[in-house]
Amino acid sequence: MKNNLLQIVILVTLFLVFHIAVPGTPDMLPFSPQFQQAPPFLEVDTTWVDSVMKQLSLEEQIAQMIMVQAYSNMGETHQKEIARLISRYHVGGIAFFQGDPVSQAILTNRYQDASEVPLLVAIDGENGLGMRLDSTIRYPSQMALGAITDNALIYQLGGDMARQMKRLGVHMNLAPVADVNNNPANPVINTRSFGEDPDQVAAKVVALMRGMQDGGLLVAAKHFPGHGDTGADSHHALPVVPYGRERLDSLELYPFREAILSGLTGIMVAHLQVPALDARENRPATVSDRMVTGVLKDELGFRGLVITDALNMKGLSKYFEPGEREVEAVIAGNDILLMPSDVGKAITEIKRAVRRGEISVERINESCRKILLAKQWTGLNLPVSVEMASLTEDLNHPDYKANHRELIAHTLTLARDRDSILPLSHLEDMKLATVTISRKGMEHVGATSDLYLTGDHFTLPSRAARQEQERLIEKLKGYNTIIVNIWNTSSYASRRYGITDETVRFVEALHPLIRDNPQARLVLNVAGTPYALARFVNLDHVGAMILSFDDDPLYQEYTLQAIFGGRGFSGKLPVSGGEVVSAGDGIDTGPPVRLGYSSPLDAGLHPDTLVLMDTIIEEAIREKAMPGCQLLVARHGEVVWHRAYGHHTYQGKRPVELTDLYDLASITKITATLPSLMRLRDQGRFHEDSLMGSFPTVPDSSNKAGLRVGDILSHQSGLVPWIPFYYITLEPLDASQQLVSHNRSAQYPLKIGPSDWANRNVKYVDGVYDRAYSPDYPIQVAENLYLQTDYRDSLYRMLYDSELHDPEYHYSDLGYYMFQQVIEAETDTMLYPYAWYNFYAPMGAETMGFLPLNRFPAERIVPTENDIFFRRQLLRGHVHDMGAAMLGGISGHAGLFGNANDLAKMMQMYLNGGSYGGERFVDAATLETYTSCWDCENENRRGLGFDRPVTEEPDAGPACDDASASSFGHSGFTGCLTWADPENGLL
């Protein structure tokens, strides 16, 4: 029994040992030297290394330890000097700094050709190539990355960095920064650190390191033994880390230890004085055998490359002369001597130290061999040349950009949300203002926020005088939602993080405005470091506080989207912000609830495919199928293509803008009438199986009373397609011409026929229209054209008296005239206000609505037709459909205007199963019923109101063959079309 228990304990212990991992890192090994992974380059075949070692003299072996700095933007004199160092001293490596990728690649090939042993090329790319080179991607700072909760994204970033750098001929990245920045006043590390929590820093260091190394890139975690809690910059002085060994083990050394256990390939040693590890005065870690050999190699078991920090920095050069520094660094245990100020003197002095017995030949052999092993692991044992063709394009591959955008989206941190106001809700009650504070006070974010809700946008200089602030605050009293964006910040405490006293005063001066309005909401968005929040003392009036880290446009676009629910906040603060917020704070708002705006690859679509749409549209404009249009494509709730093309008219005077409105024609059916009917169905006041006669608006005597609602919605009730109601208001110019009737009842004879329309030889019937509004002529049909009041009733009488065809599929508008009356009777509200208050306003679909000239200038409304027959004018802002026009522009079948962006909100609501913006508009089961095929057995593809694809016949119906059977949408006579495919998440 005792033996069995002992076996169980041993098994459980072994299980725990092999499965304990640092949270968030991929496949982490347990924290124990017993399970330490060796740096992968130590495991390569040594044949090439052995052969090179035999050929190198002692001086050449020493030279392999030298890595010089190079620039690709400093001209021919500098380039010749680097080439001289290579040919004269046979240095082993180059660390590139500023320049551009093409120039660097050319120089890399030139320098490699000049070197007998392939050069190890490094770059100090903590944030990727973009930290040093133009025309490349600069990734978020490590502190911004520290806010990301999913370390798989950090690992993916490491892989992308590796592929980019390897493509450029770079073999080592002098990163990641493994310092724990727990000192807000740190002048040199600061935002270069992942944060102040050693566990989180360690997890992210390992994730980024593994991503790079799995991509075949050497790394150098820095700055050993830990530069995060210092008040001096080692570029200019020698910082002191005054803490005891227990503190160092639990904080400064911890991320390095975890990375070593995971097979770290390189560590950079800092110019730091750490008395607890080496009490000698002015003895930086870089030249301390007690720290490099004693702690790093012997205690922590590090077997990878040890790299000095730049040997020309004041933290070292102040105490050691050229040549002396390099000797001391080799004695300490460093393998790579980074950027010596005098290469020749460094090699000479090291060689003399060997002769004096201060450095053994074996010590040089050890470092040289290790460097050659690393070179072979990166592929330098084979012919090397950077391919120049498509270099910049490859470094900026769309996949890298998509991953970059994903990183930014996951950095955004909602540090505090006092009343759970984000994402913003109740848009229908909101009056929005944004204030952007920056050095020049010129920038604003209106373009993004207006996609969700049109607001007013103000700017304020960061040093605005009190009077200027007071004038703005007076203006802001008319708003109940205010977003304050603070840009142009700094990461340095010495600069007060770029937050001026004037900015602090302005934010605090908003307190009375928020206090005095119970509905008011204030959102503070700081585009900077969390430390900047310490500048604020009184933030009780701030409802939500956001850290967006950077005022780069993409960060700010995504932040505004997240404020409105177009994407989620998920970040956690990597450091504390004074007394205001603490490390680890951050609210996860969950998945998006409104449309987001991004790029095709982010939604799994290839941009090259979507560009084909441009070709089609350009041809259509060229062939005058249309003068212009708007096009929007969304997938999985992300708008990935939102463009305007062409002009309002063929005269080409006014380009189409994304904010312009179009006459949506029959799309009105599914975006005004249908959602209203579905809502009534959800309330038990309407049903597709009902007969029209069950509604009081339908006369019992009409042949429409016996029609089933579902048959009308699916266009198989026998209703005629349309009635040219406006014919009754026109007559031939030749009064003797015989009347023509198109009505089964001669009670409403039509005075003209098709031939008159074709010849356009007609005039208005006397007394039917007037040029101005009056109680007798209240119905505006077009500009300066008003219809007599009793013609509305005449129209409906004609409709209810019209004949019926056989009950088979025939598209008809007439049912929607009737449904408008049903909705208005059941809700005791006119169709337009009902749709506005129940759908458009809550969604922020502000351009959606009837009678657009009542709310928008004519210049924003695209004309539909130069009507030379009926209304005899260019139709701009007045409904194109004649029947809807005779009802004053509001009808159940036509009359709705809007732009593509707001139409997409309605359609995304349908794709979401009836919800949008966190609010449910239609029951999901109802929507499923209405978008499904109603009577497929009788070869009717239609749903209830919605059009659907033809699936049994190729190249037929309104959608392409690739559209899924569950897709739905509608078209409009004016040329508009909308289509949604739930199976593919496509809109």
Token match 């959606």: residue?
848
Structural element, H or E, at residue 402: helix 398-411
- 501 C-beta neighbours (distance < 10 Å), count: 11
Instruction: State the catalytic residue, choosing from 235, 397, 426, 642.
Output: 235
Looking at the DSSP bridge assignments, the partners of residue 661 are 861
Residue 309 is among the residues annotated as catalytic for this protein: yes
The answer to whether the beta carbons of residues 137 and 400 sit under 8 Å apart is yes
CA distances from 730 to 363, 587, 750, 780, 794 (A): 105, 65, 8, 16, 14
First-to-last CA distance in the chain? 67
The answer to whether the beta carbons of residues 305 and 265 sit under 8 Å apart is yes
Residues in contact with 608: Cβ distance below 8 Å, sequence separation at least 6, in sequence order? none
> What are residue 273's phi and psi, to 5 degrees?
-100, 120
Looking at the DSSP bridge assignments, the partners of residue 770 are 786
Residue 606 is among the residues annotated as catalytic for this protein: no
**CA torsion angle for 530, 536, 538, 541 (degrees, to 10)?**
-60
User: How many whole angstroms separate alpha carbon 867 and alpha carbon 758?
Assistant: 13
**Structure token pair of residue 453:** 């809700």
Cα torsion angle, 576, 577, 580, 584, sign:
negative
Instruction: State the catalytic residue, choosing from 309, 550, 660, 947.
Output: 309
User: How many whole angstroms separate alpha carbon 987 and alpha carbon 634?
Assistant: 5
CA distances from 810 to 933, 942, 958 (A): 16, 11, 15
Residues counted in the chain: 987
Looking at the DSSP bridge assignments, the partners of residue 266 are 305
- For residue 749, cis peptide bond before it (omega within 30 degrees of 0): no
Rounded to 5°, angle at Cα 178 from 172 and 182: 155
Cα torsion angle, 868, 870, 872, 875, sign:
negative
- 126 C-beta neighbours (distance < 10 Å), count: 19
Structural element, H or E, at residue 94: strand 93-96
**CA torsion angle for 942, 948, 950, 952 (degrees, to 10)?**
-80
Enter the DSSP assignment of 511: H
Q: What angle in degrees, to the nearest 10, is found between the helix axes of 75-89 and 343-356? A: 20
> What are residue 909's phi and psi, to 5 degrees?
-55, -40
Residue 670: closest CA among 701, 611, 713: 713
Q: Which amino acid would we find at residue 548?
A: S
User: How many whole angstroms separate alpha carbon 693 and alpha carbon 696?
Assistant: 7
- Residues with a known catalytic role: 235, 309
